[in-house]
């Protein structure tokens, strides 16, 4: 039998147990948070910029970016500039979304707006 929170169907109660196992059932909010933390996505704009600027994202860079985003998330960042040898990646932390990228040659102005944090790789 599933226990539902506030009588709303489809939302399991967070403290419900899986019968016969003694394990706690995972709530929707927890599942959503876990899924949100899995992988970093690139917006169409960012993917286009990667191609235009000749920036290749290998497994190591992706791992570094994900680690930087998690560090920024722990500090409460919302929009972060991740600065590394390959260039700059502007990431919306709550959505795990790279919104744009810049190569080293594009950073001549050295001004970034609409960010609240920066992470150096």
Q: Per DSSP, what are the bridge partners of residue 87?
A: 84
- What is the reported pLDDT for 118? 95
- What is the reported pLDDT for 103? 85
Q: Per DSSP, what are the bridge partners of residue 4?
A: 12
- What is the reported pLDDT for 30? 63
- What is the reported pLDDT for 107? 72
Does residue 37 contact residue 21 with C-beta atoms inside 8 Å?
no
Q: How many CB atoms lie within 10 A of CB 82?
A: 26
Per-residue pLDDT 10s for the chain (121 aa) are 344 444 444 444 455 555 666 666 566 666 555 655 568 999 999 999 999 988 888 999 999 999 999 999 999 999 999 999 889 999 999 999 999 999 877 777 778 889 999 999 9
Q: Report which of 51, 48, 32, 53 is spatially closest to residue 95, judged by C-alpha positions.
A: 32
């Amino acid at each position: 039998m599933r226990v539902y929170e506030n009588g709303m169907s489809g939302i399991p109660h967070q403290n419900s147990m899986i019968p016969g196992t003694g394990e706690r059932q995972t709530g929707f909010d927890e599942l959503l948070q876990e899924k949100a933390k899995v992988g970093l996505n690139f917006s169409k704009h960012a993917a286009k910029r990667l191609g235009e600027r000749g920036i290749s994202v290998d497994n190591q860079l992706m791992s570094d970016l994900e680690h930087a985003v998690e560090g920024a998330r722990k500090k409460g960042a919302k929009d972060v500039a991740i600065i590394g040898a390959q260039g700059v990646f502007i990431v919306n932390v709550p959505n795990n979304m790279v919104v744009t990228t810049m190569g080293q040659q594009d950073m001549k102005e050295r001004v970034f707006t609409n960010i609240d944090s920066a992470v150096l790789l």
